[in-house]
Amino acid sequence: MGKTRRITLTTRSFEKAGDATAFFTAMLNRYNIGDCVSAEDATDLCALLRRHDQFEEKAGTGIAGFEVNTPPEDVPQFSRRCFWVIRSDDTKIDFSIGHCLKPRPYD
């Protein structure tokens, strides 16, 4: 059995990576396609996104909010929905919960 990985964000901590996955997946499933994420959930999503190895690219000009929508067509369809960053210049880019929770060298 593998080592349990604690996930610590600026907003909350999870004893196991699986707990973080379950938390953010439940959040994703609370919204309908096209819904904007609440300010409270956006705070947690910002903290999660900071773990992404391409955070600067994802944040772009700044993060104005988040929405739930379908994944881009050029991405393997693991799910029928994902989070999208809404940037301050009104452009949007998707991101994966799983990618943000991957082990990092300093975890």
pTM attached to this predicted model: 0.90
User: What is the pLDDT, as a whole number, of residue 55?
Assistant: 96
pLDDT in tens, 20-70: 999 999 999 999 999 999 999 999 999 999 999 999 999 999 999 999 999
3-state secondary structure 70-84: CCCCCCCCCCCCEEE
The region of weakest confidence among 6-10, 59-63, 75-79, 81-85 is: 75-79
Distance CA 27, CA 62 (A): 22
Please provide the CATH number assigned to the domain covering 10-100: 3.10.450.40
Is residue 4 very low, low, confident or very high in pLDDT (cuts 50, 70, 90)?
confident
User: What is the pLDDT, as a whole number, of residue 106?
Assistant: 63
- Is 2 a residue whose pLDDT tops 60? no
Residues constituting the chain:
107
**Contact (CB, 8 A) for 60 and 89:** yes
**Contact (CB, 8 A) for 84 and 92:** yes
DSSP 58: H
**Contact (CB, 8 A) for 83 and 35:** no
Distance CA 95, CA 102 (A): 13
**Residue boundaries of the structural domains of the chain:** 10-100
**Contact (CB, 8 A) for 89 and 61:** yes
